[in-house]
Structure formats: structure tokens, C-alpha cells
Amino acid sequence: MKFEVTILGSSSATPIFNRNPTSQALNINERLYLIDCGEGTQQQMLRFDVKASRIDHIFISHLHGDHYLGLVGLLSSMHLNGRKKALYLFGPPHLKEIIDLQLKYSETTLQFPLEFTPTDAQKAEVIVSNNDITVETIPLDHRIACTGFLFREKKRLRKLKKEKLEELKIPVEYYTALKKGNDYTSASGVIYKNDTLTIDSDEPKVYAYCSDTLYNEQYFKQIDKVTLLYHEATFLNDMLDRAKETHHTTALQAGEIALKTHARKLLIGHFSARYKTLNELLDEARSVFPATELAIEGKTFVID
Ligand SMILES: [Zn+2]
Ligand SMILES: [Zn+2]
């Protein structure tokens, strides 16, 4: 199953030359899940061939402009392009009011159902569950209500040991039960334990998206042992005081978080416009957590 994320924007606060405010497109089994939608996201989608028609879910972490000012424009384009299927939107409660106000004064009635679910920044909740994944909110510690999102693959059925089944001449109609973990009893009454006939499926992969936040251990347990951790790293650690004041994280802290929560890989982003180049941020995070990459726009990271 495809499980990968394409970076559309990686800048904090304001766009700067060659970097856009935050947005990411997650491809899970060819369905797109858009995470945050800063200004310029539509242009980035065009540039990197991310099709709006394939997006059915949008997640907004919080109401600072760098995370959602592209949203109304995107909804408007979907409307103008004749979208009919429902769009599922998740975000802070007041997001609905902002969208409604914009639609009201442009006298626009969207041609498609916009199904809005408010997020609660006080507690973790499962907000999506389908055949492929579940999505949980991650309560973060920012100046205003803010959540991250945890995308967890569903556990797959067990895998059959094909040669073994053929050798024992087990009828095909029992295969589904075997995949679900049942034992097999032959016509002559011999019981075969499930684990002699199947093997466990791969561990479900998990992508954690930690948007703007102060370093705060309260959410560490929830993101323990993820496959890929995206974490904001707005500043270098020499700006730690500024990071605390503005409720952000430094690159060094992001590395420490990945280490403490046993992430397999770390992706850092939300870079302050003060950094023209990003090598120092990368080096700093790698000094504690070597398996770190920069969330470079246009790059796709496979979650495996
Ligand atoms: Zn931000
Ligand atoms: Zn923010």
C-alpha cells in the first residue's frame, strides 16, 4: 500500500523567496490527505502535480495564517472546477465560521458538501477511520489551540504460507479464515495451528505530523515509535528563548524528541524566514538524531 508524503510548504510565519507556508500532501493507497494549507498551496499543488480532485480529507492544525490562509482559495477552486463529491474538513471550531463568512459575502453556495468536524486541542481523538487508516489528533502546546495528526495504517490480515497450504491440500475456501488467525482442522480431524500456516503481516506504519508547538513531553507518549515523525523546528537552538516565547521548537529539541520517542526517522520543517539556507538546522537535529531529513518542498518521503 502506498504511504508517502509530499512537502508543499515548509516555511513558518511568512513566505520567503523559494519557501512557502506549511502544507503537505499525504498519499495513502492513492487517496490524498492534505495537511495544513498555507497561502500558495494551490500553486505548489500545480507545480508538484498534486490533484485537488483526489483530495477528500483536509486537516488544519491551527488558525495561524501560515497554516490555513490557502484553504478558502482551494475550496473556491474546487467549487469552480465542478466538484460534486463531499470534502471532509477537520480543524479548530472557528474555522467553519471563517469559511462561512467568506462564502456569505461572495454569495457563493458550494456545489459540493463540505463536512466539517471540529478538533479539540485538549484531548486526543480518533477523527477518521476507514479501510486503510485511522487518524488521531495530537494535542500540542502552542499560543492558540493547536493539534497535530497521527496517521496509522490499519493492521493487515495475516499472510498465507502458500507452499505449506498446497502441500497439505487445504481448500481455498479456508484461506480467509486462516488470514484472520483461525486454526485449521482437516477432514481426518488433525488440527493445524494458525502460526504453522501463516505469518504475521508487517507492522502498521505510522506518520506523526507535529505542527507548531513548544517542547512539551505531554504528547511524547502518543507519538512513541512512529515510522516517520514530522516535527516543526522553527529555530536553531541559540534562539531557544525566542522559541519558548513564541511556543516553537528548535532543531536540537526536534532531534531530542525523535530520540526520546524512538522514531524511526525524523523530518523537520516550519523553518523561520531568518534562515536563508537550512544546513545548520539539519546538522543540529542530526547531532542528536542522525536519521533526520529536511522537509524540502517538492520532495516525497516514503513512510516505511
Ligand atoms: Zn506556523
Ligand atoms: Zn502557529
Residues 76-90 pLDDT 10s: 999 999 999 999 999
C-alpha cell recorded at residue 245: 516565547
For the chain, the residue count is: 304
Please check the confidence at residue 195 and state whether its pLDDT lies above 90. Answer: yes
Question: In this predicted structure, what is the pLDDT of residue 17?
Answer: 77
Structural Rg of the chain based on CA atoms = 22
Question: In this predicted structure, what is the pLDDT of residue 244?
Answer: 98
Nearest listed ligand to the Cα of residue 12: 1
Please check the confidence at residue 179 and state whether its pLDDT lies above 80. Answer: yes
Nearest listed ligand to the Cα of residue 247: 2
CA of 66 to the centre of ligand 1 (A): 5
pLDDT > 90 fraction of the chain, expressed in percent and rounded:
95
CA of 198 to the centre of ligand 1 (A): 47
66 is catalytic: yes
Residues 20-39 pLDDT 10s: 999 999 999 999 999 999 99
pTM for the model stands at 0.93
Mean pLDDT of the chain: 96
Residues 91-122 pLDDT 10s: 999 999 999 999 999 999 999 999 999 999 99
CA of 262 to the centre of ligand 1 (A): 25
Confidence class of residue 1 from pLDDT cuts 50, 70 and 90? confident
Nearest listed ligand to the Cα of residue 38: 1
Q: What is the mean pLDDT of residues 219-243?
A: 98
Question: In this predicted structure, what is the pLDDT of residue 192?
Answer: 93
Residue 88 pairs with which residues in a beta bridge?
Answer: 57, 115
Please check the confidence at residue 15 and state whether its pLDDT lies above 90. Answer: no
Residues 123-133 pLDDT 10s: 999 999 999 99
Planar angle of CA 68, 71, 76, nearest 5 degrees: 165
CA of 74 to the centre of ligand 1 (A): 19
Q: Are 293 and 256 in contact (CB under 8 A)?
A: no
Confidence class of residue 16 from pLDDT cuts 50, 70 and 90? confident
CA of 212 to the centre of ligand 2 (A): 5
CA of 249 to the centre of ligand 2 (A): 11
At residue 53, the 3 state secondary structure works out as helix
Q: Give the Cα separation of 290 and 270 in Å (integer).
A: 19
| Contacts of 27 by beta carbon, 8 Å cutoff, 6+ apart | 2, 3, 4, 5, 6, 33
Catalytic residue among 66, 183, 195, 212: 66
CA of 191 to the centre of ligand 1 (A): 59
Q: Give the Cα separation of 64 and 47 in Å (integer).
A: 24
Q: Are 210 and 232 in contact (CB under 8 A)?
A: yes
C-alpha cell recorded at residue 161: 504460507
Give the full edge-to-edge strand order of the sheet including 55-59: 114-118, 87-91, 55-59, 31-37, 23-28, 3-9, 300-302
Question: In this predicted structure, what is the pLDDT of residue 232?
Answer: 98
Please check the confidence at residue 44 and state whether its pLDDT lies above 80. Answer: yes
Nearest listed ligand to the Cα of residue 63: 2
Please check the confidence at residue 266 and state whether its pLDDT lies above 90. Answer: yes
